[in-house]
Copies of this chain bind each other. A is one copy, B any other.
Amino acid sequence: MKDAPYFLRPVGIVRSSLRSREGCPKQGGEGAPDAWLEIDPAFTEALDGIAVGSDMLILTWLHEGRRDLLRVHPRGNPDEPLRGVFATRSPDRPNPIGLHRVEVLEIQESDRIRVGPLEALDGTPVIDIKPVLPESEER
């Protein structure tokens, strides 16, 4: 496949009730809702083997993130001293990739997956899906 290096192809999109960055929980465990992942039909074969009840890692493209910030106030709190973005989970970072651990709640028509909790905005591109490794629970 003749992709340019470092060029991502979205494999799906997040459909969520979360519509603005301001109203978004910082992490899934902080009250984020369930969301649907709509997978591009070109990639549904890659979902084979994902089952309801599985814990998965969803990688997203945080399309509203700022790529020119190298330090931020953690959690957007101006009282916190500035810290390098690689020491935070800020969506503002050179490559605005989000990493979300979710549970698979429902699979419909083989290309729609309900997962939760997910703190990503409606319309966020999905770029990868990975299983949580059983031996370590975090890779």
Contacts and interface: CB of A to CB of B under 8 A. Distances in A.
A8 B95 CA distance: 6
A103 to B, nearest CB: 12
A139 B97 contact: no
A99 B83 CA distance: 22
A70 to B, nearest CB: 4
A40 to B, nearest CB: 9
Secondary structure call for the A interface:
loop
B45 A71 contact: yes
B135 A138 contact: no
A112 interface: no
Interface residues on A, range: 35 or more
A46 B93 contact: yes
Contacts of A29: 135-136
Contacts of A125: 6
A101 interface: yes
Interface of A: 1, 3, 5-11, 27-29, 43, 45-50, 57, 59, 61, 63, 66-68, 70-71, 82-89, 93-95, 97, 99-101, 125, 127-133, 135-139
Going nearest first, the 7 A-B pairs with the smallest beta carbon separation are A49-B87, A138-B138, A48-B84, A86-B129, A49-B83, A6-B8, A45-B70
26 contacts: A1-B66, A1-B68, A6-B8, A6-B10, A6-B125, A7-B8, A8-B95, A11-B95, A27-B136, A28-B139, A29-B135, A46-B71, A46-B87, A47-B86, A48-B71, A48-B84, A50-B84, A59-B99, A89-B139, A94-B128, A95-B127, A95-B128, A97-B127, A97-B128, A99-B99, A138-B138
